[in-house]
Amino acid sequence: MSSAMHPAMDMAAERGMQLSPAGESGVQLLEVSMGPQHPSTHGVFRMDVVLDGEKVVKLKPVFGYLHRNHEKIAEKETYLGNMPYTDRLDYICSLTNNWAYALAVEKLAGIEVPERAEYLRVITAELTRLQNHALLIGFLMQDMGASGTPLMYAFREREKIQDLFEALTGSRMMSNYMRFGGCRVDAPAGWLAEVGKMVASFPQFLDEFEALLTGNEILMARTQEVGVVTRERAVNAGLTGPMLRASGVNYDIRKVDGYGIYNRFPFRVPLGEHGDTYDRYMIRVLEMRESVKILEQALKEIPDGPIQDPKTKPRNFRPKVGEAYGRIESPKGELGFYLISDGTGTPYRYRVRPPSLINLTLLEEMCLGHNVADIVVILGSVDIVLGEVDR
């Protein structure tokens, strides 16, 4: 092989070493293993990337570094005993995980939820959405090289929300809050007023954040027309959540299923036009503004009353034989739980439908033809948490 372009390649050829074939640009293809220990992969995720110069010609995601067989553990545990495990799926959004699991069990056993508990669920879920989206944007900017500032702004807001979660559930991240037919504890005195203050100050943070970012030239150059997903591909690949809506598909499970009491809230569903990384950023900003509206209304309307269905006995809980699939709109997409009961106290089959994993289906298609630095940005805009991807 005489076409080597670098002295090192000539040396390798002299020693009879096998060289990888040349790409279209004439340069040897380079295989890079990004991850599992790479700061931009948001955890232990690996991508085997083949590069032609700077251009990505192949990308294969590699999963399983955080695999602990969550589903198998759940099949040996009681229904209630699984609730704390769901916190550890997507550990940024433990409260929505709780809700999705509780919803699936409530479908399976036909349990009613009291009014006040429904409102508490909406309030905690929307606070979770605010926290998740703010963090995601912070991390996305960090991945893009905006070192520190936006992430710290996001963390400042997250800290306020985590303080509220701690006051309500006793834990900042691992909340273990929802129960079948209600919630574990009622809000402490003055808690709702504190949430009200936080919600009232949040639009100010968003304005500040947007003033820094939305019209930023570097942000636009790095994200517009990068990682485009068309409408048809997004639907066919089962993308959900902000990923799907950035491609212009009007599908929000809060609207479609109206689970809980969501059909009482007249919020809007923001949609993207281009399906690129910029739209995925923008959708999250707009969704936060809608969440603020939902929170304001919920705080105004929340009634007094019980927070737990008195007929449900969670400690000796044995649903009848049958199966159920329950899903909610988690901040990352459609989080579903599929349960099969054989009439005993442990689920016969327990399945988590992880939005983080399924949103990665199109990762290769999104990255092909882009520069290697764009992979980091595209992956950042997908919004994955490895606790949920690998389970």
Partner 1 sequence: MSAEALQIETVKAQIEAAVPGCLLEMVTNPSVCAQHSLVVAAKDAVAVAEFLRTADGLKFDFCSNVTGVDWPAKETVAKVKVKKLVDGVETEVEETQKTVTPGYLEAVYHLFSMELKHGPLVLRQRTAGHEVGAEVASLTPVWKSAELQEREIFDLFGVVFTGHPDLRRLLMWDEFVDHPMRRDYVDPDDYEYEPTAHDEILRRAREHAAAAQEAGR
Which residues of this protein are in contact with partner 1, per CB under 8 A?
Answer: 63-64, 67, 69, 71-72, 107-110, 233, 235-240, 249, 251, 256-258, 319-325, 327, 334, 336, 338, 340-341, 349, 351, 353, 357-358, 360-362, 390-391
Nearer to partner 1 by Cβ, of 108 and 226: the residue is 108
Q: How far is the CB of 351 from partner 1 (least distance, A)?
A: 4
- Nearest partner of 41 among 66, 24, 20, 16, judged by Cα: 66
Distance CA 51, CA 108 (A): 49
Sheet holding 349-353, edge to edge: 322-330, 333-341, 349-353
* Strand, coil or helix: 352: strand
CB 379 within 8 A of CB 350: no
> Which residue's CB is nearer to partner 1, number 202 or number 259?
259
Torsion region of 260: left, alpha or beta (phi above 0 gives left; psi -120 to 50 gives alpha) = left
Residue 146 or 360: which CB sits closer to partner 1? 360
Q: Which is nearer to partner 1, 348 or 373 (by Cβ)?
A: 348
**What is the smallest separation between the CB atom of 323 and partner 1, expressed in angstroms?**
6
Least distance CB 251 / partner 1 (angstroms)? 5
d(CA 347, CA 343): 8
**Dihedral of alpha carbons 347, 349, 352, 353, sign:** negative
SS3 call for 115: helix
**Rounded CA separation 104/106 (Å):** 5
Supply the minimum distance, in Å, between the C-beta of residue 115 and partner 1. Answer: 19
Least separation, in Å, of the C-beta of 233 and partner 1?
8
Residue placing its CB nearer to partner 1 in the complex, 157 or 329: 329
Q: Which is nearer to partner 1, 26 or 348 (CB)?
A: 348
Nearest distance from C-beta of residue 336 to partner 1, angstroms = 5
| Closest to 86 measured CA to CA, from 255, 318, 339, 259 | 339
